[in-house]
Amino acid sequence: MCASREVNDHYAITLPESHRRFWHHVKEMEINPHDVLVVVDVQNDFCPGGTLAVPHGDRVIEPIHRAAPKFRHIVLTQDWHPKGHLSFAARHPGRTAFESIETVHGPQILWPEHCVQGTSGAEFHPLLRLPQAELILRKGHGIDMDSYSAFFENDHATPTGLGGYLRERGLTRVFLAGLAYDFCVAYSALDARRLGVPAVVIREACQAIDIDGSVAKMEERFRQAGVTVVDRLGD
């Protein structure tokens, strides 16, 4: 049996080869009331003009707005770092942004200062309009630990609480959109799978940073973990 069946029964299997980049890459998918759309880090600093601008970061907004009305449940995440955060290159004399260093929790990519608590860069993009979102989950708020995933901090052990929230609310499948495809979106999708939750990444509603082959690496991990990538949601 195709492994995708564990994840969803309503998918198109007759795809042209060009669409079959992933084992779990499907074209369309139906949404049910227990699905939740997790909109990851659509914040000013990750959009053009921001300090850690993802190329075309603001292009995620339109597809997110198209997907949102299909969902009964929407959660937003917000990267939310204190000044002097571990992930900021400026905290590490002699280091520069996009270098990797070793920390007690493993390798850490150093980033330009971004999404500092209470700054305009940490605000959601002004065109993002999802007033119906039921939870805003802030992550990366501990000064000495980063958190790419919406589920666990980068020690891969400290929960953010989102897993418990989904469980208590009976939300049984996550759809992911936002920034960045190869970092916070990807780690969130992988951790959902780790919790046994089906995870579907909406590709057209994400944009990637793509450093050091990070997109290809993450897509290989998607395959191994059973993350589904869908081009877009059906009409």
Binding residues for Zn ion (CB under 5 A): 79, 140
Find the catalytic residue in 35, 41, 58, 182: 41
Which tokens in the block code for residue 179? 């920034």
**Coil, strand or helix at 102:** strand
**Shortest separation between residue 141's beta carbon and ligand VGL, angstroms:** 12
| Angstrom distance (rounded) from CA 154 to CA 105 | 7
Q: Which of residues 116 and 179 has its CB atom nearest to ligand VGL in the complex?
A: 179
Q: Which of residues 119 and 172 has its CB atom nearest to Zn ion in the complex?
A: 119
Residue 80 interacts, among ligand VGL, Zn ion, none and using kind-specific CB cut-offs from 5 to 8 Å, with none
E-only strand ranges, the chain: 25-26, 35-40, 73-79, 100-103, 106-109, 135-139, 173-179, 199-207, 228-230
> In this structure, is the dihedral angle defined by the CA atoms of residues 33, 34, 35 and 40, taken in order, positive or negative?
positive
**Shortest separation between residue 151's beta carbon and ligand VGL, angstroms:** 14
Q: Which of residues 51 and 172 has its CB atom nearest to ligand VGL in the complex?
A: 51
Q: Is 2 a catalytic residue?
A: no
Q: Is 139 a catalytic residue?
A: yes
**Shortest separation between residue 73's beta carbon and ligand VGL, angstroms:** 21
Find the catalytic residue in 58, 184, 191, 206: 184
The enclosing H or E element of 218 equals helix 214-225
Q: Which of residues 11 and 46 has its CB atom nearest to ligand VGL in the complex?
A: 46
Residue 151 interacts, among Zn ion, ligand VGL, none and using kind-specific CB cut-offs from 5 to 8 Å, with none
Torsion angle of the four alpha carbons 122, 203, 217, 55, in this order, in degrees rounded to the nearest 10: -50
Q: Which of residues 27 and 63 has its CB atom nearest to ligand VGL in the complex?
A: 63
E-only strand ranges, 5-143: 25-26, 35-40, 73-79, 100-103, 106-109, 135-139
Q: Hey, how many other C-beta atoms are within 10 angstroms of the C-beta on 141?
A: 16
Q: Is 41 a catalytic residue?
A: yes
Find the catalytic residue in 58, 139, 182, 206: 139
**Shortest separation between residue 188's beta carbon and Zn ion, angstroms:** 13
**Shortest separation between residue 199's beta carbon and ligand VGL, angstroms:** 16
Residue 184 interacts, among ligand VGL, Zn ion, none and using kind-specific CB cut-offs from 5 to 8 Å, with ligand VGL
- Residues near ligand VGL (CB under 6 A) are 41, 46, 79, 111, 179-180, 183-184
| Angstrom distance (rounded) from CA 42 to CA 180 | 9
* Cα angle value 210/214/217 (rounded, 5°): 145
Active-site annotation, residues: 41, 139, 184
